[in-house]
Structure formats: C-alpha cells, structure tokens
Structure 1
Amino acid sequence: MIRYALICDDDHEFEGWFGSSGDYDDQQARGLLECPVCDSRAVRKQIMAPAVAGTKRTLRDPGPAKMQAMMMEAAGRIRAHVEENFDDVGDAFASEARAIHEGRAEDRGIYGQASPKEVRDLIEDGVPVAPLPPEAPAKTELN
C-alpha cells in the first residue's frame, strides 16, 4: 500500500491509500478521485517526503477556526443537497415519514418539521429520521 498526501483545487488537504502508484494514476485518469470535503475532482498529489523509520511526523493542525469553517461548509452542502433533491412536506413530516416506513406512501426522500415528541415516537417505532443541519448564518450575522 502507498499513501499519498492529496489536495484539491480549493486547498482541502487529505490522504489517499492506493495499492500502487499505478492505481493512483489509473483512478486519477478515470476521474474517480474526489475531495471528501467539497467533492472537487481537481485532485493532485502534494509534495511529500518519504516516510523514514525512526523520524517524528507532525500533523498539520488546521486550528479550530478552520475546522469550524470546514464543518459549516460540509453541513451547508448536506442541507443544500437535501433541499434540492428531497420533497419538503412541511409540518406533515411525522405522518409522511411513518406512511413511507409502513409502505403506505411512495418511498422517497423527504424533509420537514416535527415536534420533539413526534421525533421521539418515530425513533421508538424504528422510523429512520435525522435532523437537517441548520442553515448557515448570513455573513452579516457573523462576528
């Protein structure tokens, strides 16, 4: 196995493990490599020193502010994907989720609003639900 330090065109750094350098080249040529943060396919190898036994390696800590920004970006992408591809059923979420789970309604992705009690009841009955990430604050609301 070979580990490559990779970076996308948005400067998101990550690593990839490949069976050989040829595997990397093949996957890159077929467009199969993508950034886990932003899904960019403009991925390239970073310059890296060879791993030598007995040396200390230090990890680059992006820092709390950068980590928070990356998490907010990822959460925003999830929310946008749901809003673009799922049906908004509004405050009928609990009844529609239950109907889909029980086979009484078309199986599809939905989102909407439910009370805490409705969510607890759905979970207790085995209906898969998850909270939607919050909307990102407007830039004018940030400090």
Structure 2
Amino acid sequence: MKVLDLKCSHEHRFEGWFASTDEFESQLSRGLVACPVCSTTEVSRMPSAPRLNLSSARNDSAPSQQPQAKQGATDATAVQARALRFLREVLENTENVGDRFAEEARRIHYNEAPARNIRGVTTPEDAHALIEEGIDVMPLSVPAALKEPLQ
C-alpha cells in the first residue's frame, strides 16, 4: 500500500492510499481522486520521502524546532482537520430539511414545529429575511465529500 501526500489546486493537503503509484495515476486520470475539503479533482502529488520509524533514531525535538515550512504545513493540516471534524459534528447533529429551510426555521421559531437543529438550503434574500425576523441562521459551506457517505 502506497501512502501519498497530495495537494489540490486550492492548496488543501491530504493523504491518499493506493495499491501502487500506477494505480494512483490511473485513478487521477479518470477523475476519481478528489480533495476531501473542496471536492476538486485538480490534485497533484507532493514530494515526499520515505520515513523510517526506528526507536534508536527518535527525534524528540519540540515542534518549535521544526523547519518553518514543515511547521506551517502541519498547522494548515491541523486547521483543515479541525474544520472537517466541526462540519461532521454539525452534519451528525442536525436534520437536513433541504429546500424547506426558511419555512421550517420559521415554524420552529414560532413554535409551530418541535424545536430542533436543522440545516438546509435557502437564498441569500430568505436568509436575510430570517435574520430580520430575529431567527438565527448561519451560512455553512459543506464540501460535497461530506454530504454523502464514504464508500
């Protein structure tokens, strides 16, 4: 199994696991490799070196002693991971009401429907109208990769 460091055209970094480098190239050419953050298929392979985990060669240096470029990449990866965890939690703890979002938000606000956390789709105009009515809404962009279960 090959673990490759990948990056999309929007600079999101992630790992991909493939049976071989040829299999990665095959999947990439067929548009099957997509960024888990933004779902773009414009993906490239990052240079990487093999890493040996040897107990005698442990590197116990503090993160502040890491080269700046690597630490910056690690920080960006950590931010992406936290954002994805947050989005997954939102998706797990809300009911998707789809296009009926504005209608259902009003029903909940005016006690015409049971109170619950919902998510869905609405126009910017409807979202603004909800805010003017005192109904709290928050736009949230969800990557397509999180909208469907992984296969």
* Structure 2 length-normalised TM: 0.49
Aligned match of 2:47: 47
Give the structure, 1 or 2, with the largest relative contact order (CA under 8 Å, sep 6 or more): 2
Contact 2:101 2:118 in 1 (8 A): no
Give the alignment's TM-score, normalised by structure 1. 0.51
Structure 1 residue runs of 5 or longer lacking an equivalent are 79-85, 94-111, 121-128, 137-143
Query: Where does 1:1-143 land on structure 2 (aligned, <5 Å)?
Result: 1-54=1-54, 60-62=73-75, 67=79, 71=83, 86-88=98-100, 90-91=102-103, 93=104, 112-113=105-106, 114-115=108-109, 118-119=114-115, 130-131=118-119, 134-135=138-139
Q: What is the alpha-carbon root mean square deviation over aligned residues?
A: 4.1
Question: Alpha carbons of 1:45 and 1:89: their partners in 2 closer, same or farther (altered >3 Å)?
Answer: closer
Structure-2 change in CA distance of 1:134 and 1:16 (3 Å): same
What is the distance in 2 between the residues matched to 1:35 and 1:10? 9
Give structure 2 stretches of 5+ with no counterpart: 64-70, 91-97, 121-136, 141-151
Cα deviation, 1:22-80, whole Å, max 9, x if unaligned, reads: 2111101101011111111110110001122325588743269x828x839x96xx9xx
Q: How many aligned residue pairs are there? A: 99
Q: Structure 2 CA distance, aligned partners of 1:32 and 1:9?
A: 15
SS in 2 for 1:36: coil
Percent of residue pairs identical: 25
